[in-house]
Structure 1
């Protein structure tokens, strides 16, 4: 069964993808440089952010498999993924773009780059809203997934804390 989206929604989705591409290019191409010597620890931290973002994006893309698309509308072959990196955040590829972009900003900070990163944040947040509406319609289990999984920033502390029900012992 082929699932189609209204033309206006497809146009909106691909417009967001286009703007995302422009913002990512601008993030890298806007002239940077601090004018001051960048401390080694900041270079190391920013580089680590970019490397971590690359691995996160790759893990998210591999988990989606054939369902991977730049569009916020799920493809016809998309399946709901809730394991792997998707157990920590609902949009790991967007998280990776923001984390890597923040690393780029730290390496070559200029006010223009900061504004571009903020625009990217707003754009990706908007894409998540459109995507989540479509996923809620497409997958009946998506609402439960949303209830237990953060959108963009993982709640690692929640994962480390024991479940309160576990502390009370077994129910009899």
Structure 2
């Protein structure tokens, strides 16, 4: 009987150790995702006021999209709410999307396309840990449509003198 109790205690103890390890590993993954979001510049556009405040926006408000438009010859783009967008995807769908999506300026989609699976998994875990919050950003506008709110205006590209 003592051997059975000892064996059961060992199994329960091992299970608790695995659960603790899994929780610690999950927290490491989330913290790595936080790091990826910071160094990747995700907050610069997807968090209202982040760049203007030198990053002094509470984490509870991160990645909720913005109503500040980015206008140029392509029209006007708005940074979407990543927390709502990620909430609609499982990890496999997110990774497939991240490796292949194309976006209008100024989104550096090529940088996201090039992220490693490990970085994408961490970013996904971080955004999932933040949870859904906020509202959808305005829809993109085509060229020639004047945005209602504030915008960052990009000038037209310089003319190539050799083309004349």
Please report the TM-score for the alignment, with normalisation by the length of structure 2.
0.28
TM score, norm. by length of structure 1: 0.27
Larger radius of gyration: 2
Higher helix share: 1
